[in-house]
Amino acid sequence: MPVKLNTLAEHHRHCDELFVAVHDAASAGNAEVLVARVLALREAVLSHFRYEEEHVFPLYEQSSGIDGATEWLRAQHDDMRGAFWMLGTLTPEADWAAYRAELAALQNAFATHAAEEESRMYPVFERLLRK
């Protein structure tokens, strides 16, 4: 399956939009809506991770010639999966502050991760696609 850079960036932007929706629900104090939006975010992010791990990362490693070139990105995916797991064990009503703190940490991790991918991996793909 070919990797399309605009599709990857669209994945990131879509997840960013879902984070905004989660933040809005958290700010409104609506726990039921918040949990539903976190579940939608979880599905979108995990789907994006699967796509990257199955298609993008192998291509990047092959094109870079460096074994394990994406290990650090995969570790970040695992950390974020852990954050989603943690959110699944918390309820906003039981500990609103902890739930929101975990969400903020997850959003920061995702934003940092997406920026690293877009600055490190995408230029490599752009060079390859121009050949």
From first to last of the 131 residues of the chain, give the pLDDT tens digit.
455 556 778 889 999 999 999 999 999 999 999 999 999 999 999 999 999 899 888 888 888 788 888 899 999 999 999 999 999 999 899 999 999 999 999 999 999 999 998 888 877 777 765 65
Residues of the domain holding 34: 5-130
Q: How many whole angstroms separate alpha carbon 43 and alpha carbon 63? A: 29
We report the CATH number of the domain holding residue 98 as 1.20.120.520
CA quadruple 58, 62, 67, 69: dihedral positive or negative?
A: negative
Q: Would you tell me how many other CB atoms lie within 10 Å of the CB of residue 9?
A: 14
- The distance of Cα 39 from the centroid of its chain, to the nearest Å, equals 13
Task: Please give the tally of structural domains in the chain.
Answer: 1
Q: What is the 3-state composition of the chain as percent helix, strand, coil, each rounded to the nearest 5? A: 85, 0, 15
pTM of the model: 0.89
Which tokens belong to 130? Answer: 């121009």
User: How crowded is the C-beta side of 70, counted as CA atoms within 13 Å?
Assistant: 20
The answer to whether the beta carbons of residues 70 and 14 sit under 8 Å apart is no
**Cα(71)–Cα(74) distance, rounded to whole angstroms?**
5
